[in-house]
Structure formats: structure tokens, C-alpha cells
Structure 1
Amino acid sequence: MARTTHPKSILIVTGLSGAGKSTSLRTLEDIGWEVVDNFPLHLIDRLLAAPVAEGHDPAEDRPLAIGLDSRTRGFDAPAIIARANALRAEGVTVETLFLDCSGSVLERRFAETRRRHPLALDRPAADGIARERELLEPLRRHADHIVDTTDLNVNALQQEIRARFGQDMAATLTILSFGYARGVPRNADLVFDMRFLRNPHWIPDLKPHTGRDPDVAAYVMGDSCYATVTDQIETLLLTVIPRYIAEGKSYVTVAFGCTGGKHRSVCVAEDMAKRLRKAGFSPTISHRNLESQPLEAYEDRRRGATRGDMTGPEMARGTGAQ
């Protein structure tokens, strides 16, 4: 299905070669922008009319970043400014990001990478830098955002781009429950072991149900340690999740585990997801082992000393955490 209207937000990314355009475009892509680099200017209208990429809803209206510089075929700074003004007249938000840098630092960067300046293939890099600065000056004068990368490393530039253009882009937050009997999830950023809580597995009326069941949840939450521990975990998550997002992490997974992945971990995951929603996050809940076949033998081997009806020999055999 073809796009019938232009994107509501377009960012023209330009600047001096070696100043960080590629890093900026990669960062924009990481935070959810649609990115096109070195696209011929005379084909811009075709680009804007083209169907959105497969897998994206046309209604999402993702912002579009277009990389243009002296290497772009048909590069013409006044023509770019004129086209941007025409789009603004049509109601499209068009901004320009110009990446600047001192000549001496650019020379050092080209020397360190052993790359030739695109406008000085057979001359010193300084000649190409001076020529390019002259060609791009009209764009710099009309730029909405100017970022001088003279004193910025790659990480600092990424942070600057995220701060300016990533305010509305949130990481995908997943709250996961799992059973240790089937292994720890590999993709989890934070893992919390809930096997210290009392186990509904040993209550005949609760055993067939899951942590989503109100009676099971009430039993788990009734543990004397539950409120203290989960409140501390909530405080930790509210502290670190925004930091993960600020560092540009696209996916954050918080995992809660118990023995089988059916009762305690499910209860805590559901409870924590509700708390995070109240705090303004939009977590997705995933229960990895909720439908898995129970491993009765494994549960029996993992009996803990907190089980009230344990006999002496049973306690000797199973003193580990449930």
C-alpha cells in the first residue's frame, strides 16, 4: 500500500565529511527513525511517495531522516533548501541537522582512519575540508540544529542525538517469567530469583492453578518477605530502566524465575508489570513456561526447608532454595 501523504516529520542530516553524519544516522535508526543516506536529490519526491518498508504500519507515520552531503549525486545546497521550504508549505515538519567540526580535528580523523577526503582524492585533506565547508555553508546558515563534534567522541555524539530526537522513542520493555528447571533465559538483562517465596506447588488446592489465579497470587503475596523484596525490586527498576533507555538500549528484558515457572514467578511478573504501568511504562508480559509440562521429579528434589510438613529425612535431602 503506497504512502498517500508525506511523513509528518523529516530531518535532513548533513554536514562535513568526518563530522559524524553516519553515526548520527545509525543512532536515529536505532531509536526508530526511517533512515535513507546519500539519496539523489532529484529522486526525493519518489522516495516520499514510495510505500513504507515491509513490517511497518503506514499509520505509524515514522519520522524520516535523509542523509545528504557533498558526496550525494546532484548535490546542490540551494536546491535542498528550496525543496525543504516547499515541503514546509505543504504542512510537513522539515528540520535540518548540520554536523560541524574544526578543520584540525577533521584532518586528524582522516589521518587516523587512512581515508581520503571525498573532495580531495589527490590533494591534502585540508583542501577538501575547505572546499566542502564552502559548499555546505548555505545549509549551515539555514540549519535548525547544529552539533559541533570537535570535542565529542562517538558515544557522546550518540547521546546528543538521542537527547535531541529520541524523546518519543521508548525501548521495548518485557517482563518475563520462567522456570529454572528449564534454564535461565539468555536474553534477560536483569534476573530475579523468586524461589525464596513460599511455594503454592505444595498446596493441593493451588497446585493445578497458575500465578494468575487470585488465590495463588494471594498465597504468594502473603509471604512475609514479599512486600519488602518486591518494593525494593520496583525501586531498582524505576531507577535503572530509564538509564538503559538513555543509553540507547532498544530492548530491556526483566526476568523473574521460580522452580517450574508456573506460580511464584508468574505472580511477581504480573504484579511488577502493573506497578511499572502505573509509573508510566508500557511493559509486555511473557510467561515462558506457563504452559510447559510440570517436572514433578525436579520439584520434589528442590523441596526447601520452609515446607511445613517436611520430615527429618526430607529436610536432610532438600535444603536448597525452592
Structure 2
Amino acid sequence: MSESATESCSVTLEQEASMPELVIVTGMSGAGRTEAMHAFEDLGYFCIDNLPASMIGDLLTLKGMPGQPDANRKLAVVCDARNRDFFADLMCEIGELKEQGVDYRLLFLDADDDKLIARYKSSRRRHPMCNEGMTIGQGIQQERELLFSIKETANDIIDTTDMLPQELKKTIRSLFSEDDERAALTVTVYSFGFKHGAALDADIVMDVRFLPNPYYEPELKTLTGLDAPVRDFVLYRKETEEFQKKWRSLLDCVMPGYVAEGKQQLAIAIGCTGGQHRSVALAETTGEYLKAMGYRVSIAHRDLSLADTGKAGRAVR
């Protein structure tokens, strides 16, 4: 590294205190770095792909980077063989990070040679180490030799030979997140009225029009499912209690599957005729149930304002 580059990477005590959490992702070409970046993005990291290793130190001194403006932002960078000087530069940068006391982790992704060859053949991409006249296997062998020292210094090594993309994401989450897996799934539960249009953006739609309708009770007609009299009318009935048991059993069955598949967002829509009474009360209880199960949940009521304004809109909380 040049003298000027060394100077630009120097860190004062004040800068060091505000250093972001840094993950350097490297490893064999074709071992899953792109999927790894997606996983870190889902975890809230500011991600940079194909960063020259010599720029890591400079990057840490920048202020006001887009994405996460606070000083404690988390940063993940991919450094790989697309930058031909990366092998020597990365070892140099790692040494400097250690000297400066920067809190970083080096993640190395690996896979068997046969699997890497198969992946490159299926993608029809050129291996970055392959010069004219070289086979994919020769390029992989050359890269493996150059990466030997880097792999030896890695904090974490993931072998992706037999991994599906969602399995790699799950492994990265287990290594780099303290949150329960359920917290990775953002759930929106909202009520709606069928007469105002279907719930087109929902992953799960539950129709509760089979339940007795408070609308036909004069003292409840002008209230909503957020009001105690309507809520009690809807929830404390034999048919509703039976429905709730089976509805929650269904959620207990499907929700872990969505988490296992790596789904990040899920919309659950509960509909009644007008979106004022039954669906509102049951969206509230469904959302609270999922919150108690450890999911990140927001509750919304798409058509709740229609009774007063005639204009659709979501009341979100």
C-alpha cells in the first residue's frame, strides 16, 4: 500500500469509536457471494459489491454514507478476484485493520471444485482467473492457491457445496444476527371489505363473512371492530372461538415455513363485507397473536375510513 493510502486509512480515537461494524466477504468465485450480499442487506447492512480491497480503510473514514446515516451503521463489503490486485491488497488491509483495532469479521465462502465448475458451466460466465487457453478447473485451482492465506485468517468459513440459497441466508443470519429468525419476517395484518375490492397484495386472505354481522345490530352499526362492544360481539361467540382455534393452528403451521424459506415480507388480509366490524376485530387479535409468537407485526385497516369519508385508506399502527 502506498504511503498516501496508508495516511488516508489512519484512524483517530474519535473515528475508531464511531467505526461501523464491518464484515468483509470473500472466497472462491461461484461460492455464493451474491446471495451472501442479499442476506446482509436483509440484516440491515449497507452493502458494497466488488470493492477494491485497498479502499476498505478509506471507506471507513467516510461520513454520511447513504443508506444508514447513523455513526453505528453496519457495513458489508465483497472483495474478490474481479480486482486482480485484491489478494495482496486484502492481506495488507486486514493487517492494518488489526493494528487500528477495527472491529471486523472476515467471512470466507468456499465450495468443492466440482460444484464450482458446474455452477460456472450452468451460468456460462467466464471465471475471473481464466486467461486465454485456461480451463475453468485451472482457473479455480489458481484462485484457491492465491486465497490460501486469506482463508487461513478468516473468522468464519461457510462451505456452500450442498447449500440452497435460503440455507446460506439462514447460516449467515445465525452467524451475524442476534435476533430470532422470526424477527426477520415482517408481517402486515390488515382488514378489508370485499365490497370495496379484493386484497390483491396479500399472501394469505381469510374471509370471515360467515360470522354473524354486527352491522345488523342497531347499537353496533355505527361502531367499528376497534370498539369494545363490537369486539366482544365478534370474539365471544361460539363460532368465532372455534374459528380462532383453527385459524391459529393454521398460522402455527405455515409461519415457520415462511421463515425457513427466507421470506422477508408477508401480508395477511382478513376480509368481511364492509371492512368495519368483523375483519377489524379479527385482524387485531391475529396481529396480537403473531406478535406474542415473536414476529414483527404491524396492523392496518384498509377500509376503516370509508364509513365516514367515502375514501379508501389504511389506518396503520
Deviation at 1:107, TM superposition (A): 2.6
Structure 2 residues not aligned, in runs of 5+: 1-14, 311-317
The answer to whether 1:182 aligns with 2:196 is: yes
Residue 264 to residue 73, structure 1, CA distance change in 2 (3 Å): same
Q: Percent of pairs identical after alignment?
A: 37
Q: What is the distance in 2 between the residues matched to 1:242 and 1:167?
A: 18
Which residue of 2 is the match for residue 140 of structure 1? 151
The answer to whether 1:116 aligns with 2:130 is: no
- Residue identity matched to 2:57: D
Deviation at 1:295, TM superposition (A): 12
Q: What is the distance in 2 between the residues matched to 1:265 and 1:151?
A: 44
- Would you say how many aligned residue pairs link Structure 1 and Structure 2? 289
Deviation at 1:3, TM superposition (A): 11
- Residue identity matched to 1:70: A
The answer to whether 1:41 aligns with 2:34 is: no
The answer to whether 1:29 aligns with 2:41 is: yes
Residue 280 to residue 223, structure 1, CA distance change in 2 (3 Å): same
Which of residues 254, 264, 286 in structure 2 aligns to 1:272? Answer: 286
CA contact (8 A) 1:212 1:267 kept: yes
Which of residues 63, 70, 83 in structure 1 aligns to 2:96? Answer: 83
Deviation at 1:155, TM superposition (A): 4.4
Per-residue Cα deviation, 1:21-65 (whole angstroms, up to 9, x for no partner): 1222123223432211111223223322232425x4527x44321
Which residue of 2 is the match for residue 102 of structure 1? 112
Q: What is the distance in 2 between the residues matched to 1:109 and 1:36?
A: 23
Structure 1 residues not aligned, in runs of 5+: 297-322
Q: What is the distance in 2 between the residues matched to 1:156 and 1:267?
A: 37
Residue 184 to residue 86, structure 1, CA distance change in 2 (3 Å): farther
CA RMSD of aligned residues (A): 2.6
Which residue of 1 is the match for residue 7 of structure 2? none
Deviation at 1:258, TM superposition (A): 0.3
Task: Pick the structure with greater CA Rg.
Answer: 1
CA contact (8 A) 1:117 1:128 kept: yes
Matches within 5 A, 1:127-206: 127-166=138-177, 168=179, 170-206=184-220
Structure 1 stretch displaced more, 122-131 or 163-172: 163-172
TM-score, normalisation: structure 2 = 0.82
- Residue identity matched to 1:64: L
Which residue of 1 is the match for residue 24 of structure 2? 12
Q: What is the distance in 1 between the residues matched to 2:196 and 2:285?
A: 23
Which residue of 2 is the match for residue 286 of structure 1? 300
